[in-house]
Structure 1
């Protein structure tokens, strides 16, 4: 029984889903749909007891899954014995498993509050469990890890440009539009939405210098998007080439 559970709940070498894993992921999908429906007042109002029952059902299903994983994981040499199981409990995916069922069983009877909504959203972390079987997601994780230094440099450069842009607009527009650009923190909002190409339009420079700076900052925003995109694209190209070479062998 233990060996069967271990094979069904473990990740196969080819990352294919086992029959039991497929069933678990169907329940994960259904639980996410429940979260979405429950967040809509017109649907949840008057159906609180129904959603409560559904939450308990999902909670017990994921609790049983967690217990089965804890029972069978001892067959993995890395998690054998009591110390190994303790190590497993604090592993990334075990914590995700815990988060996926604990809010169902501990929170449903609590009164509606911000904390309750937070715990409900935490159930979405159960989606991360699917990443074990997704080769694409594993590839993304490997690329980010390999290009972490370059990405950190790009992020620091982005923050630097945003800060400089905010200071420039504060100096150019602060006296003319004190409500929008009267301080560096206020200008940071404008600089952030402009450089990330969101551009809500709620804060617009009116001086000639401010408009010129806006043009330069908008052009710079293209580079801010392009740099990390290029880094990741190069990383994916390298990773896919290595993956193809491995398959050819």
Structure 2
């Protein structure tokens, strides 16, 4: 039982980059796509009956797998967690109420509820398989980021929405008074005029309601321009909000990662802040080649977690958290001096050559630290380290 629990934990770990975890993610994604595709295909009227039945069986089988997946996640939720005076079921309840727990429940519960109110036919409960697309939200923070952006930009977004509503109501009232006598079947009520205002303001223009009077057409042109302006303004606000949120998230994440590198502890908060803006985190699975001997060096790496191996003579050199490599090619302008391969799954921070040169010019104290380590590796810094054991 313990071995099975460990295997399940390895497969469903959202942070892991092991081969088995990646394979399971791909398998889960394929099940989602096949299930939604089957729900869409089953509604085709000219589909042979046996194919439609096969689609329904596929949806049922996939749903059953997702139910088992959800129950397994609930069961192993206490694994690798400190109980802290909590029972196993209290931890499981916490997971059920967590973000991922709600996402997984949202992918299995709608179809179960649908069976109560609809039959298992192509136009019934199986259509709720479209909710399975929510499973992809487990591997992305896009929805969380959208919520934070809307929360931070709520004032300007609300202002744009109020402008939209004001223009829509004003246009509907004016169109109603202008067109109702000419086109009573199209503008005979304010609700009809509101429909025209919405389709025109959003620049959709279904064409079912079109002003015919000169003032009505002039009004329609004004509403179209207002619609473009309003939605352009909204797009700009959201784009700026997303950009700021991404920058804020990357800065905080990089700061935490940079702070874990021991040799950077003494360079000062200003230098760490500059590095946090420049460094790019990278998750790398085991047995990945990061640098090849003889190739040009375009970046250097800081190891936050995991181990890498520099294939040098007389024997390979291992490096772990807190160390860095790739700096010598950037300092000398020469090619890589060794091939570097990850031994385990690694979390790295990557510093591009352009950013390296920029921060070397603005933060000489950081350059001194990197230069000192490079000299030590080259055997110049007074340490007895043979040159052939140089790693990069």
Specify the TM-score bucket, using the shorter chain as the normaliser: 0.7 to 0.9
Query: Does structure 2 retain, via aligned residues, the 8 Å contact 1:9–1:18?
Result: no
What is the deviation of 1:148? 3.1
Mapping for residues 55-70 of structure 1, pairs under 5 Å: 55-70=59-74
Mapping for residues 1-249 of structure 1, pairs under 5 Å: 1-12=4-15, 18-43=22-47, 45-75=49-79, 76=81, 81-102=88-109, 103=111, 107=115, 110=119, 112=121, 116=124, 119-134=125-140, 138-245=144-251, 246-247=253-254, 248-249=275-276
TM-score normalised over the length of structure 2: 0.55
SS in 2 for 1:42: coil
Structure 2 segments unaligned to the other structure (5+ residues): 255-274, 277-392
Query: Does structure 2 retain, via aligned residues, the 8 Å contact 1:99–1:122?
Result: no
Structure 1 segments unaligned to the other structure (5+ residues): none
Change over 3 Å in CA distance of 1:208–1:6 after alignment to 2: same
Greater C-alpha Rg: 2
Aligned mates of 1:206, 1:97 — CA distance in 2: 53
What is the deviation of 1:192? 0.4
TM-score normalised over the length of structure 1: 0.83
Change over 3 Å in CA distance of 1:89–1:135 after alignment to 2: closer
Structure with the larger helix share: 1
SS in 1 for 2:55: helix
- Provide the alpha-carbon RMSD of the alignment: 3.1
Query: Does structure 2 retain, via aligned residues, the 8 Å contact 1:73–1:85?
Result: yes
Query: Does structure 2 retain, via aligned residues, the 8 Å contact 1:73–1:80?
Result: no
Offset from partner CA, 1:103-122 (integer Å, 9 cap, x none): 279739926486x2xx4343
What is the deviation of 1:243? 4.6
Aligned mates of 2:173, 2:196 — CA distance in 1: 11
Aligned mates of 1:202, 1:77 — CA distance in 2: 63
